[in-house]
Amino acid sequence: MEYGLRPLSGDNDCIELMNICFGKEEVHFFVEHPLDDPTIVEDGADTSSSESVQVQDVKGKGKVVDEGNDCVEAEAEDSESDGDIDINMFESENEEGQGSRAADNQYSSEGENDSWVSEELGELVCSDPEDVRPRKKYATYHPAPFGRVFLQLGMEFPSLGVFKRAVKDYSMQIGRTYRYVKNDKTRVRAECLEENCDWLIYCSWSPETNSYQVKSFQEGHSCAMRFNNKQANCEWVAEQMVPEIRAHPRMTKDEAFEFLKTQRNVHVKDGKLFRALRAARKTVEGSERKQYANLKKYIKVLKERNKGSTVALGTRGNTFDRLYICLAACKQGFKEGCRPLIGLDGCFLKGYYGGQLLSAVAMDGNNAFFVIAYAIVESESKDTWSWFLQLLLGDIGDYKEHGYNFITDQQKVSYVLVLFL
């Protein structure tokens, strides 16, 4: 048609129009109303009182007047493809449309939902994407290494426990102390311990984000930095020392104190530091009590992996008493590559359960110590040394046949050797 207009004759044309007009801010529609008695408006006629729409003769010329008295000049041509209007066609389509709507109303009244459908097509209300406000995104807290913890207004936390831990790490890294004003199951409010400092943070449940959210945060301390921080309890110090104990298992108390002072900005008393180091070592090395319960499994693995090894376990009921171990490789290495001189000695064990460590060592071709066998006993006595030497000679063979010599600095061991040999 002329003026870039396109007729809509079915659903396919409407769908195509929606695809073409998608993203357009404004689209103009022109509606042609079917009339039984069309009125021809000639040039120069008075159109001020006309309220109906005029459909001009197919072969004539004129002006089309709408309800707003706006005129659009048009020319009609003889060709049917140039937009000839068949009034009867509109009347038939109108009757069919009314019948279809009536059938739809009847069907909807008999449906399961009993929904009412109007016979008149109302104005379609379409939501503007600009009016739909997306949910504002807030920062989510993720655990960070010490020195990189930060807090901000609106930050989300999965629980109040995580929030309180973040506040503690944040305060420790900046060298400040705080106290809880409110601390219950639904909200937490913390403020600086100094009277003249305005630092404050408040966190509570937020239905909008479905999480705990920082709703008030006055950042920036006006107080001075402190090294004697009350928030550095034994549990926190032990957690900070676990990675250092893994890297340096023999770390001393003085080294741990220097690490906390330089890397964590906190001074810890000796008693608290000793308890923290013990807890950290327990985390790294495990519980000694639980390790004793795995001795039988350990002995079984030793015998499977080192065939020919000698392992003897002595118990008193269900309580550990003594343990002797002589690995097959150490036994064979002593016989083939070491001097026939055996040193016997014992030392204290400084663990939680204490005890004594008995050992038999030799010297190899490089003048280095070569361990033959060792044992863990409750104390160093004639009974324990006799038990240890019987098992040792049973592994390395008769001393007279191989010409073994023993060296020791304990009189009781010499007495046992005299009795035994």
Q: pLDDT of 404-416, one tens digit each?
A: 888 887 665 665 6
Residue whose C-alpha is closest to residue 269's, from 241, 240, 230: 230
Whole-model pTM: value is: 0.47
* 50-107 pLDDT, tens digit each: 444 444 444 444 444 444 444 344 343 444 444 444 444 444 444 444 444 444 444 4
Measured N-to-C along each axis, helices 234-247 and 270-285 cross at an angle, to the nearest 10 degrees, of 50
What per-residue confidence (pLDDT) applies to 35?
Answer: 55
pLDDT value at position 373? 94
pLDDT at 2: 53
The 10s digit of each residue's pLDDT in 258-301 is 999 888 888 888 899 999 998 998 888 887 778 888 888 999 99
Q: Which of 275, 378, 272 is nearest to 319 (CA)?
A: 378
- Is the per-residue pLDDT at 372 higher than 90? yes
Residue with tokens 């601390």: 183
Report the distance separating Cα 373 and Cα 8, nearest Å. Answer: 101
- CA 238 – CA 260 distance, rounded (Å): 11
Q: Which of 75-84, 256-265, 300-309, 339-348 has the lowest mean pLDDT?
A: 75-84
Q: Is the pLDDT of residue 202 over 90?
A: yes
Residue written as token pair 């110090």: 237
In the predicted model, what is the mean pLDDT of the chain? 76
Residue 221 has pLDDT above 70, yes or no: yes
